[in-house]
Amino acid sequence: MESPNPAPDNGPNPGAGAGQRRRLLEDPRSIRALAHPIRLELQSIIGRAGRITAADAARELGISHALASHHLRQLAKYGFVHQVDGADNRERPWQLVHTSHDFDDVEDQPGGSEAVAVFEQVAAERALEDLGRWHERRASWPPGWRRHSGIATSTVYLTEDEFTELMEAFGGLLARYIEQRPIDDLASRPPGSRAVRMALIVTPQDPTTAEG
């Protein structure tokens, strides 16, 4: 029987400045539940809006209200989102329970590696779709945004220790902004800021035949 994490009726108020609300995903079933393009996009939309109704989410995604509601209920079942009181008696809006997730050590559990692989495949496909949409509108953005966006590839030879050091350094650069600006904390966003979605794909390579 599935045992999703329960979510409270009311969560932290966006803009409260409480920092990141982290969740360690230790159950492969929760990771598989999240590994769906519509659910990942719903999480992004809810976070960027602070809170949003299923009807508004459906309009944002161009899907039916019923489909949006189904995926929101699935996210809620596994403790990723929950409903909160709205401004009136109309449809109750949805809000994120956590603002960031980690998968540490889940691959050591039965089915963990497979769940992470499914999630990463969905996330990678979503990143490629994002890149295609960016190309369609890129010309209309200011030079600074255009110059430093898109995709870049490099191959560099590193030891395991150097590889770990590099990835931790990169994570440290992002951590400053991630910690100070939880995705659903609208008040933490400086004027002129825009949501920037980053997908870092890192793939260590096997030696070629010539390398031995």
Q: What is the pLDDT of residues 175-197, one digit of tens each?
A: 889 989 999 999 999 999 999 99
| 100-102 and 22-24 strand pairing | parallel
pTM: 0.82
Q: Which of the four pLDDT bands, split at 50, 70 and 90, describes residue 134?
A: very high
Q: What is the mean pLDDT of the chain?
A: 88
pLDDT at 90: 78
Burial 123-134 (b: 16+ CB within 10 A, else e): eeebeeeeeeeb
Decide if 64 contacts 142 (C-beta within 8 A): no
Per-residue pLDDT averaged across 37-55, rounded?
Answer: 95
CA angle 2–113–161, rounded 5-degree value: 140
- Overall average pLDDT of the 120-141 stretch: 94
> CA angle at residue 193 from 189 to 196, to 5 degrees?
105
Q: Tell me, what's the pLDDT at 18?
A: 57
Query: Which pLDDT band, with edges at 50, 70 and 90, does 9 fall under?
Result: very low
Per-residue confidence band for 74, with pLDDT thresholds at 50, 70 and 90: very high
